Amino acid sequence: MTSQNQLKHISKFLSLVLRHKPETIGLTLDPHGWANIDELIHKASTSNEIENIDRDLIQEVVDTNDKKRFIMSEDGQHIRANQGHSIRVDLQLQPSVPPEFLYHGTATRFLDSIIEQGLKPQQRQHVHLSADTETAVSVGKRYGKPVILKIKARLMYEQGYEFYLSENGVWLTSYVLPEFILS
Ligand code: HQG
C-alpha cells in the first residue's frame, strides 16, 4: 500500500501543476483546466519536481484525497483540480443558489483589512466559502489564529452576485463586499 506521505506529496505536486504552475514541468492545461494524464506523467518523470509518479498513484490520490481536490474525466484520459486555481481556467460551473449563510475561515491578523476591503480572491480565481463552520476553521488555521466570517450569501445572490458550487462542495464567488460579512 502507498504511504500517506507519498500520496500527500503527489497531491501537493498535482495542486502545483493543475492549479498554479503547469509550466513548472512544461505542461499546458486546456481552457477548462484539464491536463492529459499520459502527458502529465511523461513530463513529470522527465522533470526534477517529483519521483515515481504513475497512473495508479494518480488514481489513488483522486480516489482517497481528503478534500476530493481532483477529478478524472469519464474516459480516464484527463485530470483537473476541482477548485483553488490561481491560473485562469473556466471550470464551466453552473451558477447555484447558495444557502442563507456561507462561511469563510481566515486568520485574525487579516480581519481589519477584510472588514475594510471585503473578501478578495487574492491569488486565486474565486473567494472560497464553505457551508459548514468546521471546514472554515481548518481553512483559517492555515494562516494563524482562525476566525470564522459568516457571509450573507443568499442576500448577495438576491442582489445579483453569482455563486458556484465546485464538484467537491466548495462554494465560489468573485468578491464579498464588507456589508455582506458578519464576524
Ligand atoms: C484572505 C485550500 C486581507 C483570506 C482551502 C485568506 C480552501 C484577505 C487569504 C482554498 C482579504 C487567501 C482557499 C483582504 C481575503 N485583506 N486578507 N481584503 N480578502 N483575504 O489560500 O480561502 O487545501 O488564497 O481570508 O481549504 O484561505 O489547497 O484562500 O486567508 O478551500 O485544497 O487572504 O485553499 O484548499 O488565502 O483557501 P487563500 P483560502 P486546499
Pick the CATH number of 4-81 from 3.30.9.10, 1.10.3720.10, 1.20.120.920, 1.10.10.970: 1.10.10.970
Q: Separation of 139 CA from ligand 1 center, angstroms?
A: 7
Alpha carbon of 144 to those of 31, 110, 111, 113, 138: distances in Å?
34, 10, 12, 15, 10
Distance (angstroms) between ligand 1 centre and the Cα of 102 equals 15
Q: Do the domains 102-182 and 4-81 match in fold?
A: no
The predicted pLDDT at position 13 comes to: 97
Ordered per-residue pLDDT tens for the chain, 183 residues: 578 899 999 999 999 999 999 999 999 999 999 999 999 999 999 998 898 899 999 999 999 999 999 999 999 999 999 999 999 999 999 999 999 999 999 999 999 999 999 999 999 999 999 999 999 999 999 999 999 999 999 999 999 999 999 999 999 999 999 999 997
Ligand 1 pocket: which of 66, 110, 123 to mutate (most atoms within 8 A of CB): 110
pLDDT at res. 135: 96
CA angle at residue 110 from 154 to 88, to 5 degrees?
Answer: 65
**Does the 102-182 domain belong in CATH 3.20.20.70?**
no
Residue 170: CB within 6 Å of ligand 1?
yes
Domain ranges of the chain: 4-81, 102-182
Distance 128 CA to ligand 1 centre (A): 7
Phi, psi of 148 (to 5 degrees): -105, 130
Residue 2: the pLDDT is 75
Task: State if residue 96 touches ligand 1 by the CB under 6 angstroms criterion.
Answer: no
Cα 106 to ligand 1 centre (Å)? 7
pLDDT for res 1: 57
How far is Cα 29 from Cα 10, in angstroms, rounded to an integer? 18
How far, in Å, from the CA of 39 to the mean position of ligand 1?
Answer: 30
Ligand 1 site, residue 110, Cβ cutoff 6 A: yes
pLDDT of residue 48: 87
